[in-house]
Amino acid sequence: WPSVHSGSSDSIRSSESSPDTGVYKVMLLGDSGVGKSTLAGIFGGVEDTFPHGSEHPEDTYERNLLVDGEKTTLIVYDIWEEAGSQSWMQDSCLQMGDAFLLIFSVTDRSTFQRLPSLLLQLRTARPHRHIPIILVGNKGDLVRSREVNMEEGRSLAGMLNCKYTEISAALHHNTHELLEGVVRQIRLRKDEGEH
Ligand code: GDP
Ligand code: MG
């Protein structure tokens, strides 16, 4: 747990990595229904959803990216919900990531309101690490059912000292930019010597 599902990359690696190898682990966090699996699926280039066998869940996506002329391997983990309410499993997710996307749906205010406590849990699990954390408002395409506006998202991110972005996983809008941004953030933190 978890298995690695190869995306556009040919190789399948073990999930062992360190920031120094250029292999970065990105953990998708957030409530059920906010679009984590849709985003992960885009990243893995997977159109169909796989039946989730309990032994080998297809919930981890690896891909090589060229960002600013430098090669990077990103592994995106969509395993947060599998942890359920088991705190040891949640904690192992939080220990594993090199960067975290805290995803909510702009059409569901309750998913937005969960972010501060989620972030507190993350910062408690990783107190000494200056890791990239990005708040991500998904479903930006659903204009009429929007419950959280962009200013609220930005302002919460500012208060929590995180980055903020909005995407539409359904339309693939801003999703590639988001993952490139994650890579840049990880590199910046590394260069600052904060790992
Ligand atoms: P998860 O529970 O966080 O993994 O969320 P899913 O990826 O399963 O998405 C939940 C539902 O929201 C699915 O029906 C998706 O098709 C839909 N969905 C996900 N992202 C978007 C989006 O950007 N726009 C719209 N309109 N629907 C989306
Ligand atoms: Mg899911």
Q: How far is the CA of 151 from the centre of ligand 1 (A)?
A: 22
Ligand 1 atom showing the smallest separation from residue 138 Cα: 23
* Ligand nearest to the backbone CA of 30: 1
Per-residue pLDDT tens over the stretch 68-100: 999 999 999 999 999 988 999 999 999 999 999
Q: What are the phi and psi torsion angles at 99 (to 5°)?
A: -155, 155
Provide the pLDDT confidence category of residue 46 given band limits of 50, 70 and 90.
low
The model's pTM: 0.86
Nearest CA to ligand 1 atom 28: 170
Nearest CA to ligand 1 atom 15: 35
Per-residue pLDDT tens over the stretch 117-128: 999 999 999 997
pLDDT at 141: 98
Q: Is 46 in the pocket of ligand 1 (CB under 6 A)?
A: no
Ligand 1 mutation target, pool 38, 147, 176, most atoms within 8 A of CB: 38
pLDDT at 191: 76
Cis before 2 (ω within 30) = yes
Q: How far is the CA of 78 from the centre of ligand 2 (A)?
A: 7
User: Which residues is 47 bridged to in the sheet?
Assistant: none
Per-residue pLDDT tens over the stretch 181-191: 999 999 998 87
**What is the side-by-side strand order in the sheet with 133-138?**
5-6, 60-67, 70-77, 23-29, 99-105, 133-138, 163-166
Contact 101, 134 (CB under 8 A): yes
Average of per-residue pLDDT across 53-71: 78
Q: How far is the CA of 50 from the centre of ligand 2 (A)?
A: 11
* Ligand nearest to the backbone CA of 41: 1
Nearest CA to ligand 1 atom 6: 35
**CA distances (Å), origin 9, targets 5, 24, 47, 171:** 10, 14, 16, 23
Spatial CB neighbours of 195, under 8 Å, sequence gap ≥ 6: 19, 129, 130, 189
Nearest to 178 by CA among 166, 190, 191: 166
